[in-house]
Homo-oligomer: A and B are copies of this chain.
Amino acid sequence: MANQMDSLFSALADQTRRDVVERLTRGEAPVKELAAPHDMALPSFMKHIDRLEEAGVVSTRKVGRQRIVALTPGAFGPAETWLDRQKQVWEGRLDRLEALARKIEAETNTFPGDDP
């Protein structure tokens, strides 16, 4: 994956991984527990954890024979920022269009060339 944002968005582009994230917002948990609701072999499931970790969404530490997985605070920041910026530019453009529309409206309600 080229850049950070690619791996962040693509980490979230999978139901299994989003489920894991949702579970983790309610507190960290070992892999086995996270895997339980997903009908999937452990090695397959671990790949999802790996992808979340590589994307920085999650961090893990080993405690005894368990691997504890926890959400990384602020991990979604870049994604949210990007989405917000798009909305901002988009809405800025709509505002300008609206202003223009109002101006044209005003002008058509008078004779053309009323205010030279």
Contact = CB atoms under 8 A, between A and B. Distances in A.
B22 A86 contact: yes
Contacts of A15: 2-3, 5-6
A interface SS class: helix
Interface stretch (A31-39, A41-49, A60-68, A75-83): A75-83
Given A26-B93, A76-B83, A83-B80, A6 B14 contact: yes
A83 B89 contact: no
B25 A5 contact: no
A27 to B, nearest CB: 7
Interface string A1-29: 11101111110111100100110011100
Interface in A48-103: 71, 73, 76, 79-80, 82-83, 86-87, 89-90, 93
Interface of A: 1-3, 5-10, 12-15, 18, 21-22, 25-27, 71, 73, 76, 79-80, 82-83, 86-87, 89-90, 93
